[in-house]
């Protein structure tokens, strides 16, 4: 087992990684995920989630060495009778994983029907952010890579997305001149109804302050994300870094917490009021920032991740047009 698993961090055992890599009997699943832009694989504690449109299409858990338990949430089914009949209950061979792999288009169709009635726009667009920055044609040129989504360590650390800022210039990508990538946490809010309440912007800042106020928490999550990022690269799930053999071994001391706000209505005053309150909050060693779109895309560039005062100054009319 890897040290990540020994500590209870998210991460896969060495034999799980080997089974997923080229030559392993689960490699056809990884190959599909690399080629299908609608899918995203996220690493958990010795299991993986394959996301589709922000929903969990397939969970694959390790039972023992080279034996895995597949799971699909049958709540997505309109008619639950017999849909998964004939699929292996355990995966221990190429034939087993291929049975499930070939069933995925039908499972995606069931999820499409469910999402038409139960839309999850925030999670769906979150997955688009992952794809654009990790695996799209421009991902080698963005300044951020997404390491994880829907992170919750059950100890106060909860984040929509965990990212690293690894600047796209040659010195940074070669990790020269003392450069260290920065760990970042991103909260995505889709529409104005998501800005307030317990899970709203102020609630997130309170949670950031409580969790990141302890140096041990920062140390642990940095260690966890270094391993997670390495494992994703080992599985060739960060296409924007193909050909880059430089291993990230440490993060910069400071951390950024970033809001990504999608489809805010400038005629609504709620965001302006929230920003006024955010201006009174300071978290030592943590920058509160806002991500702005680069001409309508979700590619994350350092020039477009700006401080709260700059955001307020540059986009006052977009924050509230009636003020």
In whole angstroms, give the CA distance from residue 15 to residue 62.
10
Residue 13 has pLDDT above 70, yes or no: yes
In whole angstroms, give the CA distance from residue 205 to residue 189.
13
| Residue 277: partners with Cβ closer than 8 Å, 6 or more residues away | 202
| Residue 306: partners with Cβ closer than 8 Å, 6 or more residues away | 289, 290, 292, 314
**CATH 3.40.91 spans which residues of the chain?**
121-319
Residue 190 has pLDDT above 90, yes or no: yes
Q: Phi/psi at 89 (nearest 5 deg)? A: -80, -20
In whole angstroms, give the CA distance from residue 201 to residue 204.
5
In whole angstroms, give the CA distance from residue 54 to residue 156.
22
In whole angstroms, give the CA distance from residue 50 to residue 47.
10
Average predicted confidence (pLDDT) for the chain: 94
- What is the token pair recorded at 103? 């069933």
- Please give the helix or strand (H or E) that residue 50 lies within, else none: strand 47-52
Band the pLDDT of 5: cuts 50, 70, 90: low
CB 143 within 8 A of CB 241: no
CB 304 within 8 A of CB 291: yes
How many CA atoms, within 13 angstroms, populate the side-chain half-sphere of residue 6? Answer: 6
Band the pLDDT of 250: cuts 50, 70, 90: very high
- Please give the helix or strand (H or E) that residue 59 lies within, else none: strand 55-64
Band the pLDDT of 136: cuts 50, 70, 90: very high
Report the 10 Å Cβ neighbour count for 183. 22
**Across residues 227-249, what is the average pLDDT?**
97
Query: What beta strand segments (E) does 177-268 contain?
Result: 182-190, 255-262
Report the 10 Å Cβ neighbour count for 200. 16
**Across residues 242-255, what is the average pLDDT?**
97
| Residue 63: partners with Cβ closer than 8 Å, 6 or more residues away | 69, 90
Residue 3 has pLDDT above 70, yes or no: no
Find, among 179, 183, 180, 173, the residue nearest to 250 by Cα: 180
CATH of domain 121-319: 3.40.91
In whole angstroms, give the CA distance from residue 145 to residue 190.
21
pLDDT digits (tens, 9 = 90+) for 275-319: 999 999 999 999 999 999 878 899 999 999 999 999 999 999 999
In whole angstroms, give the CA distance from residue 148 to residue 130.
9
Beta bridge partners of 238: none
In whole angstroms, give the CA distance from residue 157 to residue 209.
11
Band the pLDDT of 2: cuts 50, 70, 90: very low
- What is the token pair recorded at 216? 């041990």
Higher pLDDT, 169 or 1: 169
pTM score of the predicted model: 0.95
Find, among 58, 54, 61, 130, the residue nearest to 90 by Cα: 61
In the chain, what is the straight-line distance between the N-terminal and C-terminal CA atoms, in Å? 57
Identify the pLDDT of residue 1.
40
């Amino acid at each position: 087992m890897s040290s990540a698993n020994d500590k209870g961090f998210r991460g896969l055992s060495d034999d799980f990684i080997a089974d997923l890599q080229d030559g392993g009997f689960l490699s056809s699943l990884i190959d599909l995920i690399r080629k299908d832009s609608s899918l995203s694989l996220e690493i958990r504690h010795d299991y993986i989630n394959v996301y589709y449109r922000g929903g969990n299409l397939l969970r694959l858990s390790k039972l023992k060495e080279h034996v895995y338990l597949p799971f699909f949430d049958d709540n997505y089914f309109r008619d639950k009778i017999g849909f998964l009949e004939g699929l292996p209950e355990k995966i221990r061979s190429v034939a087993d994983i291929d049975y499930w792999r070939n069933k995925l288009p039908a499972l995606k169709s069931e999820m499409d029907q469910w999402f038409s009635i139960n839309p999850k726009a925030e999670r769906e667009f979150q997955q688009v952010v992952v794809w654009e920055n990790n695996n799209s044609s421009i991902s080698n040129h963005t300044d951020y890579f997404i390491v994880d989504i829907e992170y919750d360590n059950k100890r106060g650390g909860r984040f929509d997305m965990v990212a690293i800022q690894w600047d796209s210039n040659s010195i940074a990508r070669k990790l020269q001149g003392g450069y260290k990538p920065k760990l970042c946490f991103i909260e995505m809010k889709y529409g104005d109804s998501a800005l307030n309440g317990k899970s709203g912007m102020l609630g997130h800042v309170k949670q950031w302050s409580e969790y990141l106020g302890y140096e041990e928490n920062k140390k642990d999550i940095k260690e966890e994300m270094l391993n997670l990022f390495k494992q994703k690269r080992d599985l060739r799930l960060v296409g924007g870094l193909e050909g880059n053999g430089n291993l990230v071994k440490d993060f910069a001391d400071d951390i950024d917490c970033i809001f990504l706000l999608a489809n805010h209505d400038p005629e609504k005053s709620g965001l302006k009021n929230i920003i006024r309150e955010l201006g009174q909050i300071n978290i030592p060693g943590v920058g509160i920032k806002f991500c702005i779109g680069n001409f309508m895309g979700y590619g994350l560039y350092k020039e477009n991740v700006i401080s709260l005062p700059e955001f307020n100054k540059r986009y006052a009319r977009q924050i509230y047009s009636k003020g």
